[in-house]
A and B are shown apart, each in its own frame.
Chain A
Amino acid sequence: MRLPPLDSPQWNSTFRAFAWGMAATSATILSAVLFVTYIGIGALAHAAQFSMLWAILATVLVWAGPAQIILITTLASGASIVQSAIAVTMTAVRLFPMVVAVLPMMRNEQTKRRHLVLVAHFTAVTLWVECYRFLPHVPREQRVAFIHGLGCGLMTIGLTATIIGYELAANLSQNLAAAILLLTPLAFLFSTARNSRTLADGLSLVLGLVFYPVASLMNSGLDILVSGVVAGTIAYGVHKWRDES
C-alpha cells in the first residue's frame, strides 16, 4: 500500500488520516501475525474456563499479547492475584520504553498530553514497529489521527481473532497449534530486523537474542529485564563509541 505524498491535500482531513491508518493494517504481515496470536489467546481463555466477555475485555483493556497469555496461564494454574499481577507487570515494563519512543514521533506544538492517552493505550509491539515504518510518510499534524486509525484497525483484528479463537477452542491439532505459536517469534524477529537502521538497532536485536538464554540460567523471574537492559546498554554504548571515534 502506498500512502499519499506528504504534500497531498488528502492529508488535510483528520478523518481521511484516520481512514488511512485503518487501511494501513492491510499492508502488513504483522496484521496476520496479530490475528493468529489472538486466535491462540482466545483459545487459551476458553481452555482456562474464562467467559467470552472476560476474553473480550482482556483484549480491549490489556492489549498486550504476552501479558494476556501470562495472566491466563497463571490464574488458571491457581496463582494468587498478587502473583499474577507481578508476572504481568514484568512483561509490561517493555511498554514503557515503547510509549516513550513512540510519542515524540507524533507530538507537535499543539499536542496536549490527553491527546496521546489513546495512542499510549494502543502502543504494543505491533504498533511500535509500524510507527517506524509508516510515520515518516505521514505529515506530523495528522499522525495522532493516523495512529488512532491504525490502533483501531489492529484492535478490530485482535478482537475478531479472540472471538474466533474462543469459539474454535482446543480443536486445533498439535502440529497446527505448534505452528501458530512459532509464528510469533519468527514474525517479530524479521519485522524488527527489517526496520533496523542504525548499528544500535541491529546490535540490540542480536545481543538480546543471545543474552536471554544466558540470563535465563539465573532463573530470577527478572531474566527478560536483565538481559534486555544489559544487551540494550551495550548496543547503545557501542553506537555512541563508534559515533565519537
Chain B
Amino acid sequence: VSDFIGDWHALVVLVLAGVIPNQLWRMLGLWLGAELDEGSDLLMWVKAVATAILAGVIAQILVQPPGALAGVPAALRYGALAAGTVAFLLTRRSIFAGVACGEIFMLAGRWWLG
C-alpha cells in the first residue's frame, strides 16, 4: 500500500506546483468569462489567440522534440507533418488519414535510414 501512495511530501508538491498553478487559469476563465457574449469581439480575439497558442505547442513538439522523438532526424519530423497535411487535404479533411500518413512517413523513414 505504501508503494501505491508513495511519499506524502510529493503529493503536497503536486498540489503546490501542479494543481494550483494549472487550475488558477480555469477558475479565472470561469470567473471573468461568465459575462462575455458568444459572438463578442473579445471572445473572437481570445479564441484566435487560444488557437495560435495550440499551434505553437504543436510546433514546439516538432522543433524541440521531447524524449524519444528527439532521436528522430528533423527532416523526418517536418516531413511527417508535410505528408500528413497532403493526405489530410487530399481526403477532404480526414483526421485519420492525416495522422496515419504522418506516422507511416516517420516510421518508414526511420526504417529506410536504418
A residues in contact (CB < 8 Å) with B: 29, 33, 44, 50-54, 57-58, 61-62, 64, 66-69, 71, 73-75, 81-82, 84-86, 88-89, 91-101, 103-105, 107, 113, 116-117, 120-121, 123, 125, 128, 172, 174-175, 177-194, 196, 200-201, 203-213, 215-216, 223-225, 227-233, 235-236, 239-240
Contact = CB atoms under 8 A, between A and B. Distances in A.
A84 B34 contact: no
A62 B18 contact: yes
6 closest A-B pairs by CB = A51-B6, A208-B55, A99-B29, A232-B49, A208-B52, A228-B53
A52 B4 contact: yes
A81 B13 CA distance: 7
Interface string B1-31: 0011111001101111111111111111111
A178 B53 contact: no
Given A53-B4, A85-B21, A193-B88, A99 B26 contact: yes
Interface of B: 3-7, 10-11, 13-34, 36-38, 41, 43-69, 71-72, 77, 80-81, 84-85, 88, 93, 95-96, 98-99, 102-103, 106-107, 110
A205 B57 CA distance: 11
A91 B41 CA distance: 24
A107 B77 CA distance: 41
Contacts of B38: 104-105
B6 A53 contact: yes
A95 B22 contact: yes
A190 B48 contact: no
A158 to B, nearest CB: 14
B10 A51 contact: yes
A29 B10 contact: no
Given A190-B98, A191-B95, A75 B17 contact: yes
Given A62-B22, A88-B18, A121-B23, A235 B48 contact: yes
The residue among A66, A95, A186, A230 with the most chain B CB atoms within 10 A of its own CB is: A186
Main secondary structure of the interface of B (DSSP, over half): helix
A34 B104 CA distance: 20
A68 B18 CA distance: 7
A31 to B, nearest CB: 12
A82 B51 CA distance: 28
15 contacts: A50-B10, A61-B15, A75-B17, A81-B16, A81-B17, A97-B47, A100-B46, A103-B30, A113-B31, A185-B57, A185-B58, A189-B85, A192-B51, A228-B49, A232-B49
B55 to A, nearest CB: 3
Given A54-B14, A121-B26, A228-B49, A62 B19 contact: yes
A75 B97 CA distance: 37
A84 B18 CA distance: 8
Contacts of A213: 59, 63
A55 to B, nearest CB: 9
A208 B50 CA distance: 10
A182 B88 contact: no
A207 B51 CA distance: 10
Given A183-B99, A191-B95, A231 B52 contact: yes
